[in-house]
Structure formats: structure tokens, C-alpha cells
Structure 1
Amino acid sequence: MADLKAAFETAVANSKKLAERPDNATLLKIYALYKQATAGDITEKKPGFGDMVGRAKWDAWNGVKGTSSEDAMQQYIDLVESLS
């Protein structure tokens, strides 16, 4: 677990140094996996129609609901590595 956490923290740092900015769908996947890994299942209410970005983030995070923290960390690491 300690190795996974260290690899996750490295991937978080690397995600901020990507050569190219990923497309919006990939950014939402990165966001969702990060939130799932660090905060667990979403508990917040879905934002209203006026908050398009908030709704997209909520939908992405809700899409990975039920994923364990460890699985979300590993998926995040794999995704960031695939973008490097």
C-alpha cells in the first residue's frame, strides 16, 4: 500500500507536467479517479443546470462510484503514465 501511495503521489506530480494538455474527457477521468482515490464515493448533491463544469465533474466522479481507493489510485497511475 505504501508503494502504491508513493506511486500515486508521483503520478499526481507528473500529471501537472504533461507535455500536452489532455482532452476534456481525459481530464474528467483524471479528476474522477483522483477524487475517488482521495475522498471515496461522491456524497455531494449534483450541481444545477447553470453549473456545466460542476455537473461534468460530478458525473465523472459519480461514474467511478464504488471503485476502491486502491483501484482508483492504480487506474490514475496507469492513465497518467499512458499520457506521458
Structure 2
Amino acid sequence: MTTLDARFEQALTDVKALAEKPGNMTLLRLYALYKQATEGDAHGDKPGFADIVGKYKYDAWASLKGTERDRAKELYIELVESLKSGAVS
């Protein structure tokens, strides 16, 4: 496991232990960065109109198209660190 992978795994643990639940937009960003880091570019069919949450999640993930997996991990780690310090909610 690389140092980046270890830091990413730690961020995955840390995000679950946050004192406050992040806002919806931050949760979407975390979701999208996680998906990009673990699966790469968005794939599959975009959810339909009836699945509003699924549509927003898919759109957030698709907005990261072309972002390298390691870069997505770095961005995820940075976001979790800012949440831990209270800089973002």
C-alpha cells in the first residue's frame, strides 16, 4: 500500500468520525471524489428523473471526468482534513 493509499484509507475512517455531519453539497463532493478515486470516470446509465438523489450523485461524479484516481484521492483527503479542522461544513 502506498502512502497515498494509506492516507486515503485514514480519511475514509476520519470522515465517519466527524463531530458534525457535512452539508449536502459537501456530502455530494465527498461521494464524487470517492467514486472517482475508486472507480475512475462515471459509467453506467444516468439515473432518470424519478431518482433525484441518484441523478445528483451521478452528475457530481461525472463532473470529475478525466480526473486521475490519485488526484481524486488527494482532493478527498484535503476535503476531509478541512472538515476536521472546521474550515468547511
TM-score with structure 1 setting the length: 0.97
Aligned pairs, number: 84
Per-residue Cα deviation, 1:43-84 (whole angstroms, up to 9, x for no partner)? 111100000010010000001111000000000000000000
CA RMSD of aligned residues (A): 0.9
Matched with 2:67 is 67
**Whole-angstrom distance in 1 between the partners of 2:30 and 2:60:** 9
Moved runs in structure 1, 4+ residues, more than 3 A? none
**Whole-angstrom distance in 2 between the partners of 1:80 and 1:47:** 27
TM-score with structure 2 setting the length: 0.92
**Whole-angstrom distance in 1 between the partners of 2:60 and 2:15:** 18
User: Match for 1:79: what amino acid?
Assistant: L
Structure 2, unaligned runs of 5 or more: 85-89
Structure 1, unaligned runs of 5 or more: none
User: Match for 1:15: what amino acid?
Assistant: V
Q: Percent identity?
A: 56
**Whole-angstrom distance in 1 between the partners of 2:44 and 2:83:** 29
**Whole-angstrom distance in 1 between the partners of 2:63 and 2:23:** 18
